[in-house]
Amino acid sequence: MAKMLSGVRFLIHQRRGLISLAAVACILRGLAAGGAADEITTSQPPPATFRTILTVKDTEARLTEQSASPIGQMADNSLATVFVDPSKQFQTIEGFGGAFTEAAAVTWQKLGPTNQQAVINAYFDATTGHGYTLCRTHINSCDFSESNYAYDEVAGDTELKHFSIARDQKALLPMIQAALATSKTPFKLFASPWSPPAWMKTNGEMNHGGRLKPEYRQAWADYFVRYLQEYKEEGVNLWGLTTQNEPEANTGWDTCQYTPAEQRDFIRDYLGPTLKRAQLEKIKVMAWDHNRDDIVEYADVIYADPVASRYIWGTAYHWYSDGAFQNMAAHHDAWPEKPLLLTEACQDGGPHIGDWGVGEHYATAIINDLNRWSVGWLDWNLVLDEGGGPNHANNFCSAPIIADTKHDKLLFQSSYYYLGHFARFIRPGARRILCSSSQSKLEATACVNPEGTVAVVVLNRNQEAIKFNLKSRKAATQVTLPAHAIATYLLPATGL
């Protein structure tokens, strides 16, 4: 009997004490009945287990780890199935993250020191937060700035004698530097321009579209290089650039329009060679940076030019307008050597405080994008105020963390938790693996991390709980995903 109780104590202490009380009760009942429980001894390894991290609407479950569960061997053919095969591997993941904007930075500065650090930890601490590894910022102003601004506003200054990043040094750079100080693995940062200085444009202003004047193409390419150099002086080394944010947009905020041929020619004849002359050719240049809808047509023009194509690492895109996920697969079919990266997503139309649907919108988009070859996924503003700003064009949006600046409080939104199910458990260098769902009401994707852990993310946006098989070629376990919930299942790749 002492030998049997020793086995019980052994099991209770496995997996940091995560064995369920029901399992313990079952063992004790076996002991009382003189059953087969005497076979469980400290000399036998416990059955393989997997971890479950859960977020559920109308509960307190927010990225909450559940009790470890044993990996089963038998499928229930009456249930839906999510199937994974780690031996079938696809794109390598660069990372997940969000954007440093002036709006995010000035909002962050309005918080007290404790909550300032709490925001940074929530995103960049890999132990207690998301551990973001890929982020974005803006060159010159964007709509999420307090006003239009450029680093050189002196008309005709093609030598950039008046170039200054003093505006960014007030709020934007301090926030980036605070994040770098917290991030144990420095995140990759890339930058996007919304508009050149007004004097370089055909319409003479930073807003309402307009185009880059041909005579300023070289000055604009030099401007990119100067930006990279000035940021490096501040201890911020950029990983990449997009050529232009939303090149088809003509809105009431910072914009500049390019045809596919114009963007191709600017990269081929000016930006690419200028980066090379400055010994910055390792900077990852991305084309497009607009929605999925026209991505294939735009890329077809740019990548048809072999010289332009050599300067371009891959294609950036946004999630707005029609989903058009099929275009991601078409892009990969045509240019498999060019990575795809989702560089901006947010719920527009205000802060949407407490709206659970925003998180579900994020998750379904991330799953669809990863399954169609995206190598990463970036949210828009890291933090905004209670009004969804500031924004100089009143284009207010939601953010995963909303700051109540009047009361120095942080309001974590559903999107924060849903993003965490991917960012925390699918790490840089992970490979997407074969993953399928037998029913459309279960949305799923899966990756194997460099250390061998398989992360399977399953989303249930329905009104009822769904029981299903979590299955591989060698294992099958029945799990239940509550209504309006998302789960990340972490399994060892060996044995699957």
Closest of 347, 370, 366 to residue 357, by C-alpha:
347
pLDDT of residue 37: 30
- pLDDT at position 38 is 28
C-alpha to C-alpha distance for 406 and 129, rounded to whole angstroms: 25
**Under 8 Å CB-to-CB from 111, ≥6 apart: which residues?**
119, 403, 405, 408, 410
Distance, in Å, from the CA atom of 398 to the CA atom of 474, rounded to the nearest integer, reads 43
Element (H, E) at 115: helix 113-124
**Phi, psi of 109, rounded to the nearest 5 degrees:** -70, -20
| Alpha-carbon dihedral sign for residues 101, 397, 402, 53 | negative
Q: Are 53 and 488 in contact (CB under 8 A)?
A: yes
Cross-sheet strand order for the sheet of 409-412: 383-385, 401-404, 409-412
- Indicate if 246 belongs to the active site: yes
Assigned token pair, 49: 């287990």
- Burial class of residue 264 in the structure, from the number of CB atoms within 10 Å of its CB (0-12 exposed, 13-18 middle, 19+ buried): buried
Give DSSP secondary structure letters for 131-180. Answer: ---EEEEEES--TTSSS---S--STT-TT-TT---HHHHHTHHHHHHHHH
The token pair that represents 216 in the structure block: 């300023």
Active-site hit among 94, 262, 344, 360: 344
Helix (H) or strand (E) holding 261, with range, is helix 260-266
CB 468 within 8 A of CB 442: yes
d(CA 287, CA 300): 11
3-state helix, strand, coil in the chain (%, to 5): 30, 25, 40
Q: What is the largest CA-CA distance in the chain?
A: 92
Give yes or no: 60 in active site. no
Catalytic, out of 246, 262, 360, 443: 246
The token pair at 495 is 């044995």
Tell me the average confidence (pLDDT) per consecutive run of 10 residues in the chain, 496 residues long: 35 34 34 31 58 98 97 96 98 98 98 98 97 98 98 98 98 98 93 98 98 98 98 98 98 98 98 98 98 97 98 97 91 98 97 98 98 98 98 97 98 98 98 98 98 98 98 96 98 91
Amino acid 120 reads I
